[in-house]
Chain A
C-alpha cells in the first residue's frame, strides 16, 4: 500500500482510539472538575467495563443461546451500570470518609487500582478473552489512482475498514453530545456545574453535595466502562488493559485542561490521531516516551493545559 492510503488508514485507526479515549478521558475530567480529586483507578473502571462485557455476552450466549448482537446490547447497558455501582461503593466506603482530601485520595485510589486489578485476575484469569462484535462487515475504501493518464477511484487492496469500527466512532460522538446536553441543558447538569463552581454555596442552596459527588464518580466510571465495551470487540478483554487508557486519559485531560470536558475532547482527538499515526510509522515505545515527557512539560510550563483551570492547589 502506498503512503497516502497508509496514512489515511492510520488516521482511521487513530480516530477509533480517539473516540474511545474521548469517552474515557471525559469521565476522568468530570471527576476532577467536580470532585477535585485524581482517580488513579480510572483505568481499572475501563478494564471492568471490558471484563463485564465479556461476562455478560458469554453468559447470555452460553445460557440463553443469544447471538452476539443481543449480547453486545446487553453488555452496553449492564457493564457501565455495574461499573458505576462499584465506583459509587468505593466513593461511599472510602472517598467520602477521607473527605476527598487530594493526597489521601490518590493513595486510596492506588489501593483501589490494585484491588480491582487483582480481584479481576483472581476471577477472570490472566488470559485475554475476545468478545464478538454485533456486526462486522468489511468496507473497502476508495482512493484516487492514476490510470492511463486519468484520475479514477480505485479500491487498493487492504485499504478498508469495518462497519463496526465506524459504529464505534459514531457511538462515541453520540454519547459525548449526550453528555454535553446533560451538562448544559438539564437540571442535573446544572446541579453538577453548580457543585463544581462552589461546593459550599451549592450546599447552602440545598444541593446534596455528597450525593452529587457519588453520582459524578459513578458517571465518570460509567463513561470509561462504556468506552471499553465499545472497544472490546476490537481489542479483547484482559485484566491489565487498564494501564494504557489510564496513562492516555491523564495525558488528554492534562493537555486539554483538567475540569474542561470540551478541552478534553479536543485533546483526545489530537492525541488519539497522533498516537494512531505515530505507532504505525514509528516505534510505539518511542511515541509513548515523547507523549509522557510532553505531559510533564505541559504541566510544568503551562499548568492550565489548553483550556482548563490550573491543576495546582
Chain B
C-alpha cells in the first residue's frame, strides 16, 4: 500500500481484533473466530470477483478442497497438522489451476455456469466417496489430533488467535498484492479487458494466476475451518457455500480489502438473529441478495470509498 492511511487502517483493524478477545464476552469471541476464518474465504473470493471482475459460482470447490485436504489427511492418513495444511494448500492450488485453466476459456455467463458445474462435480464426488468423507453426515476430527506445537487448537483462546493470525497474514498480503503491479493489472482487466490486452498485458495468464491465488486462499480458509472447528461435511462443498462468499463480498464491498470482513460479520449476525426467529433464515439471505443488487451494488465499503474515502484500498 502506498498510502499511510491505508496501513493505519489495516493495522488498526488488526489491533482492534486483538483487543476484542479481551473485551468481548465468550459468545462473541467464539463467533469471531468462525467469522475470521470465513472472512479469509471471502477475501479469497474477492480476488477473483472484486478485483478481477470474474463472477465464479464455484468457489466452494476450493474451500472444500482445503477442508477435505486437511481433514482426510489427518483422519485417514494420520498426518500432522502442518503437513496436512500443506497438503490442503497444494490440493486447492492444483484444483484451482486445472479448473481455472478450463473455465477461463469462457467468459461472462458461461464462466459462471462452468464454475458452478465444476463445484457441483466436487460436491457430488464428496458424496460418492462417502466411504472416506461420510458424505452429508461428515466426520469429526478428534481434538487430540488438532494440536500444533503443543498448543490445543480447540481451546477457545488459542483457536481465536490462530484464526486471527491466519486472517492477519491473508489480510495484509492481499492488501500488498492489490496495490502492486499485478493487482493493478487485475483491476485493469476488470475495467476494460480489451484495452488491457492492447496495452500488452497477458490477460489470460494474469486471470489464471488470480484464480490460483484465489483458490489457494479459499482452500486455506477451508483447511483452517476443519482444523479449528474439527468438522468436515458435504454441505461445505455445496452450492450454498459458493453463494455465501458472493453475498459477503457484495455486502461488504467488492474490490476493497476490508469489504470481505465487513460483509462476513454483518451477514453472520444477521443470520444469527434471523435463526432465532425462524428456521427459514435463508429467506433473509435471499432478500439481502436482492436488496444488495438493487440498491447497494457497491457494498458498504464500496459506497464508503466512493462517497468519502477515495484512498480506501
Contacts and interface: CB of A to CB of B under 8 A. Distances in A.
Interface in A27-60: 38
Contacts of B105: 300-301
B306 interface: no
Contact of A111 (B280, B281, B286): B286
Contact of B289 (A108, A116, A310): A108
A104 B113 contact: no
Interface residues of A, number: 43
Contacts of A112: 286, 290
Contact of A108 (B127, B281, B290): B290
Most buried by B among A111, A112, A311: A111
A111 B118 contact: no
A292 B280 contact: no
B1 to A, nearest CB: 28
B190 to A, nearest CB: 12
A295 B290 contact: no
B293 A98 contact: yes
A114 B55 contact: no
B294 interface: yes
Contacts, number: 124
Nearest to B297: A104
A137 interface: no
Interface string A105-116: 011101111111
Given A286-B128, A300-B102, A312 B114 contact: no
A116 B118 CA distance: 26
B285 A114 contact: yes
B121 A289 contact: yes
Interface stretch (A118-126, A128-136, A213-221, A260-268): A118-126
Interface in B139-193: none
Interface in B275-313: 278-283, 285-294, 297
B283 A115 contact: yes
A94 interface: yes
A119 B293 contact: no
Interface SS, B side: helix
A303 B106 CA distance: 8
A297 to B, nearest CB: 8
Contact of B103 (A114, A119, A300): A300
Nearest to A295: B117
Interface SS, A side: helix
A97 B297 CA distance: 12
Given A121-B280, A285-B128, A98 B294 contact: yes
Contacts of B279: 121-122
Interface residues on B, range: 35 or more
Contacts of B14: none
A113 B107 contact: no
Given A285-B124, A296-B118, A296-B121, A118 B250 contact: no
B55 A106 contact: yes
B280 A119 contact: yes
Contacts of B291: 111
Interface string B110-132: 10111001101100110110000
B81 interface: no
Interface in B68-118: 102-103, 105-110, 112-114, 117-118
Interface string B29-56: 0000000000000000000000000010
A254 interface: yes
A57 B21 CA distance: 57
B287 A115 contact: yes
A104 B243 CA distance: 13
B64 interface: no
A276 B244 CA distance: 33
A118 B283 contact: yes
Nearest to B283: A118
A115 B286 contact: yes
Nearest to B239: A243
Given A111-B290, A118-B280, A118-B286, A289 B128 contact: yes
A288 interface: yes
B55 A103 contact: yes
A283 B128 contact: yes
A169 interface: no
B247 to A, nearest CB: 9
Contacts of B297: 104
Contact of B114 (A283, A286, A300, A313): A300
Interface string A289-309: 100110111011101000000
A156 interface: no
B227 interface: no
Contacts of B243: 110
A189 interface: no
A292 B120 contact: yes
A250 interface: yes
A114 B124 contact: no
A250 B112 CA distance: 12
Given A98-B294, A312-B107, A293 B121 contact: yes
Given A119-B283, A296-B121, 17 more contacts: A98-B293, A104-B293, A106-B57, A107-B289, A108-B289, A108-B294, A112-B286, A114-B283, A115-B287, A118-B280, A285-B127, A292-B124, A299-B114, A303-B106, A311-B110, A312-B110, A313-B108
Interface of A: 38, 94, 97-98, 102-104, 106-108, 110-119, 121-122, 247, 250, 254, 283, 285-286, 288-289, 292-293, 295-297, 299-301, 303, 310-313
10 A-B pairs with least C-beta separation: A114-B286, A111-B289, A118-B283, A118-B280, A111-B290, A296-B117, A115-B286, A311-B110, A111-B286, A107-B293
